[in-house]
Structure 1
Amino acid sequence: MKTELSTIEAEELSAELLQKMHAYWRAANYLSVGQLYLRQNPLLKEPLKLEHVKNMLLGHWGTTPGQNFIYTHLNRIINKYDLNMIYVSGPGHGGPAVVAGTYLEGTYTEVYPNVTEDEEGLRKLFTQFSYPGGIPSHASPQTPGSIHEGGELGYSLSHSFGAVFDNPDLIVACVVGDGEAETGPLATAWHSNKFLNPLTDGTVLPILHLNGYKISNPTVLARITHEELEQLFRGYGWNPIFVEGDEPEQMHRDMAAALDYAIDRIKQVKYDAEHSNGDRPRWPMIILRSPKGWTGPKEVDGYKIEGNFRAHQIPLAVSASAPPQHLQMLEDWMKSYRPEELFDEQGKLIAELAELAPKGERRMGANPHTNGGNLLRDLRLPDFRDYATVVASPGADGEGDTYVSGRFLRDVIKENQEQRNFRIFGPDETVSNRLDAVFEATNRQWDAPVELHDEFLAADGSVMEMLSEHQCEGWLEGYLLTGRHGLFNCYEAFIHIVDSMFNQHAKWLKASLELPWRRRIASLNILLTSTVWRQDHNGFTHQDPGFLDHVVNKKATIVRVYLPPDANCLLSVMDHCLRSYHYVNVIVAGKHPAPQWLNMEQAVEHCTRGIGIWNFASNDQEAEPDVIMGCSGDVPTLETLAAVSILREHLPELRIRVVNVVDLFKLQKSTEHTHGLTDKDYDALFTTNKPVVFAFHGYPWLVHRLTYNRANNVNMHVRGYKEEGTITTSFDMTVLNEMDRFHLVIDVINRLPQTGSKGVYLKQLLLDKLIEHKHYINTNGKDMPEILDWKWKA
């Protein structure tokens, strides 16, 4: 411990307790090495042979002993202070430690009864690790007590803060790896302490684990001076406590003192918050500096291992092709933990060590918050129909789809304020995305100074805003994983920032479905607005609908994509998504005033089907259609209906069918997605031989991809965003990408030779219109009156 912390008053570890804790740590380390190497002879009751060793050695040692050390010490303070604590393993490769910790405390065997607390159970525990048919090497969904998959490098602190929002009694011990600490999301996440309310939220206790190296490079934070490191975290607003060294006895004493001090400070912060309105507190954190690969081989084949990057993965190659002395080195290494002192003859942890683990739900692997579905309560939702936009006839004026849904979300917050299990997250865009009605019911949570002209800032708000998509996504994921509900609203173009976070969460959900003991959690609901077609003031950098392409790669059991065409459809979709469980729901909706097409009753029916013919816009009721006009998305729907009105006026003999798609996965076959249409139902809508001109919100090839094996795919002609954009008018964005009403009509004419001379003249008229449009906007800086004032008429 550094001298400036010498004033810490903590109960000195007795010699007996120190000895037991050291033995418990040795047991965890032994189990960890066994997971990396062995499939037989788990207690080394006979000399180690090659056939006892796995044929493929996969996993990571470097961070593991340090995490075992931390887990052992957290058990002590849980017992001493009766803490409600969970463990988040940030370093990507700490799986052996979390598995060892949960096995020693008994949780693992309760969850997996076949992995018994005896010699045979140890064999199974060792064999399954990073093994075909076994478990991954990270702290995955298969690991009891985990809410954070080790592959999610950089998100541990965000997840931890999300877990403690509205959980006032919960403490999350978040181990942050020094490699992980170099990522942008993690570096930003240190600022989450400015959003924590000591009265209504729990506590995150970060433990920055400096073991010096990443895969093959030193880490930045491990190579700066102590003074610079301390200044960095004091600048972030933390109270850093240093524990540094490699001598076990002194490290045990220092870590115990540091944790006692940290818990004392946490209790003091909570007390002060209840009895005063003081300044934002400096929450404690621990900086633990220990050797990478601590207690492992010091040197192998002349190369330094402990305290070096070479300890990162498998520090000692043991195989038929490896140097034969390596097998003996492995045996010596494992025996250095003296397993005969730790486990009885049957292979069970001896009683005096087992009693060090917390009991029942106080065990970090058994804490209910780590299996959030156990705590999940349904949202109380008002009737979304009460917020309907009046649509006397198709094309009625609208005030903005998200603006309407904002009033619904406002009352969702009101209905759930007592149970505090719903929050809205977004990167400083809730007002911009026209959800500002929510601030009639709540504020943005903020625990930093508030100045005179600030708006909607308070210590106990239900809206979380930080100009970091990473933090918003990570907070929400942690909130959901611990049994609550939420919504993430974001500019469409910048949701890509969390591509990998969405990817990992979707994988977590998929893996969890395969585990009967994991309970379903509330869906991750993502509302994308400020879309590609209405980013005329920001331009090309803000125009990208490609997140949808990324989403559809995931398993059909997990992902859903909705493109409601108007406000009533958005209300219906929003209600459905907030009621759902264990999905990622992506909703794309507009925020600007736009025509409204369906009344509430029609919207509910249409959204329930997910796809359907719009009778009011179609005229093929008594004959086969000549063309199908498909559309998905608010602007594509508008342009499609405008195109239909032109065709109906100039080519009235054409039979046109309009098919609108709300649920994008309706386009896929039912054998590929649970929402998909059967071939019979799909063909009934789109026919097997008629041209389909489809206006799509996103990149056109996504529709082709979803429909590639349909009977009429050869006649599917999709228009969407094709990477043309700039600062221009809203209508010109559709023209640049050839998804405007004029291009859609021209497309129909080109595919229907029966339009003859009338079609030729109409095409000439529309080409002239496109020229007129370009001249008009360049001169006037706005769209032509016939575009701005257009109204639907059959």
Structure 2
Amino acid sequence: MTLSAQRLSEHQLALFNKWWQAANYLSVAQIYLLANPLLRQKLKLEHTKPRLLGHWGTTPGLNFIYLHLNRIIRERARSILFIAGPGHGAPGVVASTYLEGTYTEYFPDVTQDLEGLARLVKQFSFPGGIPSHAAPTTPGAIHEGGELGYSLSHAYGAVFDNPELVAACVIGDGEAETGPLAAAWHSNKFLNPATDGAVLPILHLNGYKIANPTVLARIPSAELLSLFRGYGYAPILVEGHEPDPMHQAMAAAMDEAFDAIAAIQQKARRNGPLPRPTWPMIILRSPKGWTGPKTVDGLRTEDYWRSHQVPFCDLTKPAHLALLEDWLRSYEPETLFDENGTLRGDIRALAPVGDLRMSANPHANGGVLKRPLRLPDIAAHAVQVTAPGAVAAESTRILGTWLRDVMRDNLASRNFRIWSPDENNSNRLDAVLDVTQRAWVAETYEYDDHLSPDGHVMEILSEHTCQGWLEGYLLTGRHGFFSCYEAFVPIVDSMVNQHAKWLKTAREVPWRRPIASLNYLLTSHVWRQDHNGFSHQDPGFIDHVINKKADIARVYLPPDANTLLCVARHCLESWNRINVIVAGKQPEPQWLGMDAAIRHCKQGIGIWEWASSDKGSEPDLVMACAGDVPTMETLAAVSILRCHVPHVKIRVVNVVDLLTLASQDQHPHGLEDPAFDSLFTIGTPVIFAFHGYPQLVHKLIYKRANAMNFHVHGFQEEGTTTTPFDMTVLNHLDRYHLVLNAIRQVPTLAARAAYAAQAMRDKLVEHRRYVDTYGQDMPEIRDWTWTPMGDAPAEAAPPDRHPIQ
């Protein structure tokens, strides 16, 4: 490196090395030490932890990057969010937050002295302490990295609509091998430099994973640089082993990167929309386990996979204990901390102050910045239901008109976006494009449809990237809505796991403020896949979500458009939740007017009196339903039963909030036992038509008094490319199978309803022949409408048969 390229003076360089030594020292101490945090005594076995946990290999590189970002903040007053992609980087991140004082501010018992240092090092990966990831307990963190692959999409999500924020995202080279990370590089095609912030990706190539080389570290530099230029970045390479030249090179790289970011943003904000810019990134090649033991027991350790976790563990070996003491003392802790155990003032002065510290950046505690959405009146979008089932509508299209107005009313505040993996219009939410566009900064043709750098509809054919963007957006204080095909949302199952765990832990951290909920609309659902077939049929995401903590998980199955509007508004008003709404997009009967829908959704479950015939007496049969298609098939079955066995007293119960079925000690929305027993009775058979897998309902109600009398119909993993009604038949969710089961379960009907049962079996044969011949459902299915009580039902008995009296 030439003298002209040097950015740091000799005095600065000396202080940089001292800070880095202090951060590395505290990182090693957290992994190994139980006491004696500054080695004021000779190291003994009892000063070390009995269980050595944590990851050293990535940590010195993280400490190095953090230090150099602090210089940029001090010199340029940039607001920077630090995202540590390497999963087990907490020793370094925690050490840096302690050195700049924030950790003590959030955890006052971890003081800036010997006593506080003892608490700091003991708590790491220790019972009752903190984990080895940058968890919600880590100041400045929005990304835990428990599962690799999501750091870059989180970073981009954080800077959308955050024009002054820069997310410095450290990507480990192991993480860089994941599919979600590979897709996330394309996020630069959606970033508007005029109105969004910037992401500085820092690819940290230290060469090894747990036990293998990493792919990107083993390809030629020319190929590596070409790869990232192809992604649309301008890579800046920093590589070496010796600290002083590396500090100078990294300082120069940081200046180059932040100069480029400033130039791009200034040009876009001065001149308006421009061709997609080439954003900078940094590639840092440094040894794995940098500054650690070169060898252990004669085996290569630094710059090798053996430094990935704890470089050596058996401290009962005197040689290992001595090696640990030598390693710790190599950082010269006596020159870093004063007699009281406080960091020297000249070293501390390298940290920014106040909210400019990355560990105190308000965007990392997004609930502090969160502003409520302006939500328009849902009544203005209500379907006018003159009588149950009298009109049909596409429920999600109705929702789309309301979301359009939500978008319109919040565009000025720039705190609401809609996400979908190339399915926004398919899911019937295209009305939102009346007031905004799809975000797009890549090349545009004159005939393109609704593309704009300033669009607030986010579409990329990667569920992982959509999910990561949305999580980053929510975690930094904004609101969002994610629509997806039901069968493919399980692609993000593990991301939902991580977000749920983050929410659960964040609730237990007093200074973490609540964030807006993660809201899903699942449509193109299992029961309406006319042309896609079996590959698109899977309702299992709701099972996955219900397994999360009860105070986080919510699942809603609105049967029509007005209940969908009620549920959607409720979800957008909520916080710290994962809300799942399942609703069809095809034309379907509309059951409830808005007033009735509001009452029904407020309770989450209820008797539909207008469809029931048991008022004033105990029912012979409860017909329950959850989901739009199950609701329609249940009402059709009730209509048939009214015709064939009119004396049977039937109660219809509809479930919107699925978790009302759980007992109250399992979920806060669960009904109290008396209320549940009042709805379903204690001894009456219940035929339950359910949107998803039947086992889920049994799981929810197993503690209920009447659980043994529930007979649940749902998806049985039967599917193909077929008609809508045939999908229900294949899975025994159709009206005819519901009637047959009702006849079996009501004791008084066993002998009296033989003809009705025969009629149902005949209908199933007739259905099969008709569908196979004509490729569509029978007219009586296609044209079926609910008949009010007292009128002739649609499914009258065939002319040559008489209804059973």
TM-score (normalised: structure 2)? 0.97
Q: Report deviation, 1:11.
A: 6.4
Q: Could you tell me which amino acid in structure 2 is paired with residue 143 of structure 1?
A: T
For residues 752 and 411 of structure 1, the distance between their equivalents in structure 2, rounded to whole angstroms, comes to 49
Of 291, 298, 309, which aligns to 2:294? 298
Structure-2 separation of matches of 1:127 and 1:658: 59
Within a 5 Å distance, the mapping from 1:696-775 to structure 2 comes to 696-775=690-769
Residue type at the aligned position of 2:315: S
Q: Of residues 543, 557, 562 in structure 2, which corresponds to 1:563? A: 557
Residue 152 (structure 1) shift: 2.9
Quote the offset at 1:385 in angstroms.
1.3
Segments ≥4 residues shifted beyond 3 Å = 8-11, 275-278
- Please give the per-residue CA displacement for 1:118-166, whole angstroms capped at 9, x wherever unaligned: 0110100000000000000000001000000120310000000000000
Distance 2:514 2:430 in 1: 31
Q: Does 1:284 align with 2:277?
A: no
Equivalent in the alignment of 1:613 = 607
Return the letter of the residue paired with 2:424: T
Encode CA deviations 1:266-312: one digit per residue, 9 max, x unaligned: 01101221233432110000000000000001000111100000101
Query: What CA distance in whole angstroms lies between the structure 2 residues aligned with 1:303 and 1:539?
Result: 56
Within 2, Cα distance between the matches of 1:10 and 1:485? 44
CA distance in 1, matches of 2:636, 2:525: 20
1:35-46 counterparts in 2 under 5 A?
35-46=30-41
Kept after mapping to 1: 8 A contact 2:393/2:590: no
Q: After the TM superposition, which of the residue ranges 273-282 and 557-566 deviates more from structure 2?
A: 273-282
Q: Is the 8 A contact 1:620 1:655 kept in 2?
A: yes
Report the alpha carbon displacement of residue 622 of structure 1 after superposing the two structures with TM: 1.9
2:6–2:249 CA contact under 8 A, matched in 1:
no
- Is residue 629–residue 692 contact of structure 1 (8 Å, CA) maintained in 2? yes
State the shift of 1:318 in Å. 3.8
**Equivalent in the alignment of 2:798:** none
The corresponding residue for 1:596 is 590
CA distance in 2: counterparts of 1:536 and 1:62, whole angstroms: 52
Cα distance in 2 between the residues matched to 1:10 and 1:475: 37
Q: Is the 8 A contact 1:160 1:172 kept in 2?
A: yes
8 Å Cα contact 2:419/2:457 also seen in 1: yes
SS at match of 1:62: coil
Q: Whole-Å Cα distance in 2 between the matches of residues 508 and 275 of structure 1?
A: 39
Identity %: 63
Preserved contact between residue 731 and residue 740 of structure 1 (Cα < 8 Å): yes
Contact 2:355–2:361 (CA<8 Å) still a contact in 1?
yes
Map 1:3-402 to 2 at 5 A: 12-276=7-271, 277-320=273-316, 323-402=317-396
1:643 matched to 2:632? The reply is no
Question: What letter corresponds to residue 288 of structure 1 in structure 2?
Answer: L
Q: Secondary structure at the match of 1:577?
A: helix
**Aligned ranges 1:283-682 → 2 under 5 Å:** 283-320=279-316, 323-682=317-676
Task: Name the CA distance, whole Å, in 2 between partners of 1:87 and 1:705.
Answer: 42
Q: Is the 8 A contact 2:519 2:580 kept in 1?
A: yes
Whole-Å Cα distance in 2 between the matches of residues 708 and 52 of structure 1? 50
Take 2:178 and 2:747, find their aligned partners in 1: how far apart are those partners?
Answer: 58
Are the equivalent residues in 2 in contact too, given 1:389–1:398 (CA < 8 A)?
no
User: How far off is 1:12 after superposition?
Assistant: 2.2
**Cα separation, 2, equivalents of 1:275 and 1:749:** 74
Change (3 A) 1:452 1:724: same
Q: What amino acid sits opposite 2:679 in the alignment? A: L
Contact 2:170 / 2:202 at 8 angstroms: preserved in 1? yes
SS at structure 1 position matched to 2:360: coil
Q: Is the 8 A contact 1:613 1:657 kept in 2?
A: yes
**SS at structure 2 position matched to 1:595:** strand
Aligned residue-pair number: 787
Distance 1:506 1:9, change over 3 A: farther
Query: 2:799: which partner in 1?
Result: none
Between the aligned partners of 2:6 and 2:739, the Cα distance in structure 1 is 81
Contact 2:744 2:750 in 1 (8 A): no
Contact map agreement 1:9 1:261 (CA 8 A) in 2: no
Distance 2:251 2:233 in 1: 19
Q: Equivalents in 1 of 2:314, 2:322: separation in Å?
A: 9
Distance 1:11 1:604 in 2: 67
SS at match of 2:143: coil
Higher mean C-alpha deviation, range 440-449 or range 266-275 = 266-275
Q: Does the residue aligned with 2:383 lie in a helix, a strand or coil?
A: coil
- In 1, the alpha carbon distance for the partners of 2:7 and 2:128 equals 46
Whole-Å separation in 1 of the counterparts to 2:289 and 2:392: 63
Shift of 1:725: 0.2
Distance 2:532 2:676 in 1: 38
Q: Which residue identity is paired with 2:280? A: P
**TM-score, length-scaled by structure 1:** 0.98
Q: Does the CA contact (< 8 Å) of 2:166 and 2:200 recur in 1?
A: yes
In the aligned structure 1, how far is the partner of 2:266 from the partner of 2:647?
Answer: 78
SS at match of 1:695: strand
The 1-side partners of 2:390 and 2:187 are apart by 44
Give the SS at the match of 2:458.
strand
Within 2, Cα distance between the matches of 1:211 and 1:759?
75
Task: Write the letter of the residue equivalent to 2:84.
Answer: S
Is the Cα–Cα contact under 8 Å of residues 404 and 432 in structure 2 kept in the other structure?
yes
- Aligned equivalents of 1:548, 1:378: Cα separation in 2: 27
Counterpart code for 1:279: P
How much has 1:173 moved relative to structure 2? 0.4
Per-residue CA deviations over 1:568-596 (Å, capped at 9, x if unaligned) read 00000000000001100000011111000
Output one character per residue of 1:425-482: Cα deviation in whole Å (capped at 9) or x when no partner.
0100000000000000100000011113211100101100000000000000000000
Structure 2: distance between partners of 1:658 and 1:11: 78
Following TM superposition, by how much is the alpha carbon of 1:753 offset from its aligned partner in structure 2, in angstroms? 3.1
Structure 2: gaps (5+ residues): 790-805
Do 1:241 and 1:287's aligned partners in 2 also have CA atoms closer than 8 Å? yes
Letter in 2 for 1:542: H
Find the counterpart in structure 1 of residue 801 from structure 2: none
Which consecutive residues of structure 1, in runs of 5 or more, have no partner in the other structure?
Answer: none
Q: 1:690 — aligned with what? A: 684
Deviation at 1:10, TM superposition (A): 6.1
The 8 Å contact of residues 542 and 555 in structure 2, kept in 1 or not, is answered as yes
In 2, distance between residues paired with 1:98 and 1:560? 33
Instruction: Say which SS state the counterpart of residue 572 (structure 1) adopts.
Output: helix
Question: Following the alignment from structure 1 to structure 2, what is the Cα–Cα distance between the partners of residues 258 and 624?
Answer: 78
2:300 & 2:589 partners in 1: Cα distance? 70
Distance 2:36 2:119 in 1: 11
Distance 1:465 1:391 in 2: 34
